[in-house]
Amino acid sequence: MIRKLLRNLSNLPGWRTRRKIVIVESDDWGSVRMPSLNILAKLKSSGLDMESGDSARYNQNDTLASVADLSALFDVLLSVKDSNGRPLVFTPVSLTANPDFGKIRESGFSQYFFETLPATFNRFGLSNALELWKEGIDKGIFIPQFHGREHLNVAAWMRALQENDRETRQAFDLGVWGYTNKNRFNVMYQAAFDLELASDLESQSEILSSGLDLFQQQWGFKASYFVPPNGPLNNSLENVIARKGLSYISSPKIQIEPLGGGVTKRNFRWLGKKNKWGQSYITRNCFFEPSIPGTDWVGSCLRDISIAFRWQKPAVISTHRVNFIGGLNESNRKNGVEAFHRLARQIISMWPEVEFMTSTELGRLMDSDRATE
């Protein structure tokens, strides 16, 4: 009852539309989370925390998407059509690089190096999977947007490596950074733009700029939408991405802005709110995480969509790559894709007038509405 009340209240402020619009945003594409089950077993035997909280499902199931993963997902997207005859479209929120562990070690941990997405996929023997991304773009069903250069807080991670932090080095030796780490200011390595030190803003600015350049080189178009990994982002960085052409930013409705040294500030956001750089915030209001057991995620997400439509809001569905991946656990992909297929069929059955959009198309629609006011 309390959850339902909060869902209704959270949909009150912000931009409205009578149109039944559904957007599916899926985070983490391109990042290496768990290289293999063998490495997971070694991490566990070394004593690292691989099973605590929500991290457990990522460590057990999340890795680079294979051809089999993408093919299964694309089949679902193409299996349903909206009121305009358009297939369901995915906004995979994507990284453009991963750490180059070999070069970092060769430098004696004195310098950070990254490898591009094609290099990562080639190293894992998955170059054909990356080609399938391009097919998804061409078919208009899988349109990447920006999640950062790496899903990694480079500055915090490198300091821990240079200080010879035991757990960080143990994970590094196995090509992993995404374990449940402990940090003096509770900065998780996965939170790429959290601030351990205020002075990290300079390097984070460079990471955003170079990451966006890599995005354009990789996909042949500029990113227009940014979802900060794990949420934290110092708002001064919004100007950096504004200068690179990003018009839309994902934000929680209550943003906890990191200021460095464990200090934070609360900022209130709503769908369509603009910042001083003219960028619009897009807030998520529906959730689909079938890799978390114990919940009817199809029913839960349908209820979220119903509440969004009740308050004349688009349904912006939040999900993650982990829900569709079978490289470490084939049943995880099977369960996730089947649940997603049921959700898609139910959406068009319950709301035949539904329209499928990308996150950027939603942003442009909000902008065009303002222009006619």
Q: Which of 12, 207, 17 is nearest to 97 (CA)?
A: 207
CA-CA-CA-CA torsion for 102, 56, 117, 159, nearest 10 degrees? Answer: -40
Q: Residues near 350 by Cβ (< 8 Å), separated by ≥ 6? A: 302, 306
Distance CA 146, CA 225 (A): 6
The pLDDT value recorded for residue 208 is 98
Q: Residues near 189 by Cβ (< 8 Å), separated by ≥ 6? A: 152, 153, 156, 157, 168, 177, 178, 181, 183
The pLDDT value recorded for residue 370 is 66
In a 3-state reduction of DSSP, which class is residue 351? coil
Q: What is the mean pLDDT of the chain?
A: 95
Question: How many other β-carbons are positioned within 10 Å of the β-carbon of residue 161?
Answer: 20
| 307, pLDDT greater than 80 | yes
Structure tokens at 58: 């990522």
Distance CA 33, CA 65 (A): 11
| 21, pLDDT greater than 50 | yes
Mean pLDDT for 195-207 is 97
In a 3-state reduction of DSSP, which class is residue 253? coil
Comparing 284 with 2, the larger pLDDT belongs to 284
Mean pLDDT for 4-22 is 84
Structure tokens at 195: 């601030």
User: Partners of 260 in the beta sheet?
Assistant: 263
Least confident of 146-155, 212-221, 362-371: 362-371
Q: What angle do CA 81, 82, 86 make, to 5 degrees?
A: 65
The pLDDT value recorded for residue 373 is 47
> Which domains does the chain show, CATH number per domain?
2-372 (3.20.20.370)
The pLDDT value recorded for residue 175 is 97
Least confident of 12-21, 282-291, 306-315: 12-21
124: buried, middle or exposed (CB in 10 Å: 19+, 13-18, 0-12)?
middle
Distance CA 66, CA 132 (A): 9
Structure tokens at 87: 């297939």
Q: Which of 147, 151, 155, 149 is nearest to 185 (CA)?
A: 155
Structure tokens at 216: 């354009």
- Tell me the per-residue pLDDT of 289-298, one tens digit each, with 9 for 90 and over: 999 999 999 9
Structure tokens at 17: 């539309």
Q: Which of 337, 254, 325, 255 is nearest to 288 (CA)?
A: 337
